[in-house]
Amino acid sequence: MTALVPVILCGGTGTRLWPLSRATYPKQYWALAGSGEETLLQQTHQRLEGIASLQPPLLICNEDHRFIVAEQMRQIGVEPGAILLEPMGRNTAPAVAVAALQATAHGDDPLLLVLAADHVIQNASGFRTAVTTGMAAAEAGQLVTFGIVPTAAETGYGYIEAAEPLGGATAPVPIARFVEKPDRATAEQFLASGRFTWNSGMFLFKASAILAELERLAPDVVSACRAALEHDSEDLDFLRLEREAFAACPNVAIDVAVMERTDRGAVLPLNAGWSDVGSWSALWETAEQDNDGNVLRGRVISEGSSNCYLRSEHRLVVGLGVDNLVVVETDDVVLVADKGRAQDVKTIVGLLEREGARESKAHRRIYRPWGSYDGITEGERWQVKKIVVNPGASLSLQMHHHRAEHWIVVSGTALVEKDGVEELIGENQSTYIPLGCKHRLSNPGKIPVELIEVQSGPYLGEDDIVRFEDRYGRTDLKR
């Protein structure tokens, strides 16, 4: 049987799930669906377990998210075939082209199962059955897309029309056309015809088949991606696509570049509880609700409330006698919205971006390959952060021109290097890093190191770093 390689697309910022999902830590890296702690990315791979001939996945992500992706795969015991880093977003056609080129680089020709990292599929068994069903058609050279059996006249999705009524189709059916988001009357006509499904953006095809159609229909995409791969660079566990070559690639979706124009396309109906969780109301619909129709996450108390989505990441959230609300609490933002207006969150994000507000893109907690730091409070010439260093991890060897730092360890044991001299600092101990001192913070232990950092000086920006050594291969000025 032909090998099956999952291609998991991890791009996107998911601003409609703000304030939880932001550019620095978008929705695919959060635990949003189900009762467990697995993120949407982790669930995307885990639901494939049990499919015959499954191979390690290819993951395609933004450079800024590379360590998040690698860590989340490590947490579920998955060693990717490769993590490909896009220097900038160029939509799904280049991502698919890069994956196909990488998959065939050594003469192999596997099936590629292209998946978004931020979808929810409630019936994993039904999804695996659909994938297995589509494999024969894909091996025969068809370009299979999974069309979601519609449950309503939805105007927020694109549609796929099959060449014949789908009825109880259990095999891929030739595609007649793709249709952009329709108005409600048109959507109702689509449902009545029995020929239409929602466009899920999930695909299954042989690597050589999609490459051939890309070469025929979008040769500029393939040539740019081939150049970006030929001049890529290895960065630890990552393959970094060459920036200039990839920047020359057209920004185009695989639907537009190939699927709408090919005569090899086929749609396989999928009825497995799919959602792209494009809004808080959509997440509420897919989640398990209590007897009052509420979805409660985190430190939440609901009394006399109904049909609400209430989520706390830190502080206690209390819903008292409210109805049809979305309330989401993070470390720096509280969203309160009517559930019917949840789609408008994107408008608020745009407003914040125009104002240059930090909350539009980043959380207070910033993740790094070694752990994270959290800005607690700040003044005119000082700021306080909480720093967490994972076991075995280390910050870069660095120096600051404009600030000094005090470190107070509150949990674990830190190894501190100052101008070539090392010392161990335990709980309730502290050390001082004077301005201009070459220093490094490491965790030699088995549990995370937590410390409080007090910075003081005339300039406290993250770009006040001179880096001398870094085990993570970073050249950017980020700790």
**Closest-CA residue to 150 (of 46, 35, 267, 33):** 267
> Measured between alpha carbons, how far is 468 from 119 in angstroms, rounded to an integer?
41
Based on C-alpha coordinates, what's the Rg of the chain?
A: 24
Over residues 271-319, the pLDDT tens digits come to: 999 998 889 999 999 899 999 999 999 999 999 999 999 999 999 999 9
Contact assessment for residue 285 and residue 340, using Cβ atoms and an 8 Å cutoff: no
DSSP classification of residue 150: P
Which CATH entry fits the domain spanning 4-275: 3.90.550.10, 3.40.50.1360, 3.30.365.10, 3.30.110.60? 3.90.550.10
Which CATH entry fits the domain spanning 365-469: 3.90.650.10, 2.60.120.10, 3.40.640.10, 2.90.10.10? 2.60.120.10
- pLDDT value of residue 474: 65
- pLDDT value of residue 284: 94
> Measured between alpha carbons, how far is 131 from 112 in angstroms, rounded to an integer?
11
* Residue the block writes with tokens 């377990």: 49
- pLDDT value of residue 306: 97
> Measured between alpha carbons, how far is 146 from 161 in angstroms, rounded to an integer?
12
Peptide bond preceding 182: is omega within 30 degrees of 0, i.e. cis?
A: no
The residue extents of the domains of the chain are: 4-275, 282-353, 365-469
pLDDT per residue as tens, the chain (479 positions): 789 999 999 988 778 999 999 998 999 999 998 767 899 999 999 999 999 899 999 999 998 898 899 989 999 999 999 999 999 888 999 999 999 999 998 889 999 999 999 999 999 999 999 999 999 999 999 999 999 999 888 888 899 999 988 877 778 999 999 999 888 999 999 888 988 899 999 999 999 999 999 999 999 999 999 999 988 777 667 899 999 999 999 999 999 999 999 999 999 999 999 998 889 999 999 899 999 999 999 999 999 999 999 999 999 999 999 999 999 999 899 999 999 998 899 999 999 999 999 899 888 888 888 999 998 999 999 999 999 999 999 999 999 999 999 999 999 999 999 999 999 999 999 999 999 999 999 999 999 999 999 999 999 988 898 999 888 766 554 44
Q: Which amino acid is at 27?
A: K
CA 358-31-52 angle, to 5 degrees, is 130
- What phi and psi, each to the nearest 5 degrees, are found at residue 377? -160, 165
Q: Is 25 helix (H, G, I), strand (E, B) or coil?
A: strand
Q: Is 382 helix (H, G, I), strand (E, B) or coil?
A: strand
Q: Is the dihedral of CA 125, 130, 134, 136 positive or negative?
A: positive
Give CA 247 to chain center in angstroms.
21
> Measured between alpha carbons, how far is 157 from 6 in angstroms, rounded to an integer?
24
**Closest-CA residue to 201 (of 274, 138, 142, 137):** 274
CA 402-407-408 angle, to 5 degrees, is 155
Tell me how far apart the terminal alpha carbons of the chain are, to the nearest angstrom. 47
Token duo for residue 326: 């979305």
